[in-house]
Amino acid sequence: MGKFTIKNIEDTSYIPEDNGWVWVRESVSEPIPKYKYASLGMSNGYVDLSLAASSSVLYESRTITVTFARFKHGADGWQDDAEATADAIRNIFLGNVAYLYPKTISTKRFTTNGFNYEVSRDGIIQYLTFTFKCQPIGTQITS
């Protein structure tokens, strides 16, 4: 199993695990097909138009949520590491899409335009959770 990686089109990447964070958990929402039905005159029921535009079923956006943790002693500046990590990831986007390589689904990559994040703390353990809305591209990673 690889590491959760974020890359841009210029192949610049950021891997939180290589920057002091420990991968805790990851979830990737299930694919939800986009079905389109139309009621047409001179036909019974509805006509399935799901394959009309692309000759294959298309899917709704998926959500990837990934959580990292690290030890952080002291009460002062406990969010600084999380903010620095979020800034580093923000810089990967450079106004473009980024590619996500999840740790739990190593055969897929996803495109995303942005993310949300939350920082929390439990004693000396700091948690950083990212949520990405994304689209899968391809089914096999070749490089």
Angle at 117 between CA 116 and CA 120, to 5 degrees: 155
Residue 119's closest CA among 16, 15, 30, 1?
Answer: 16
Structural domains counted in the chain: 1
Residue 99 lies in a domain: yes
- Distance in angstroms (rounded) separating the CA atoms of residues 100 and 7: 7
Range of the domain at 74: 5-31+61-137
Residue 38 lies in a domain: no
Residue 27 lies in a domain: yes
Q: What percent of the chain has pLDDT over 70?
A: 93
The answer to whether 99 touches 8, Cβ cutoff 8 Å, is: yes
Kindly report, residue by residue over 84-108, the tens digit of the pLDDT. Answer: 999 999 889 876 789 999 998 877 8
Residue 75 pLDDT > 80 = no
- What value does the mean pLDDT take over residues 55-61? 81
Indicate the pTM of the whole model.
Answer: 0.80
Residue 132's closest CA among 108, 112, 109, 106?
Answer: 112
Average pLDDT, the chain: 85
Q: What percent of the chain has pLDDT over 90?
A: 42
Residue 43 lies in a domain: no
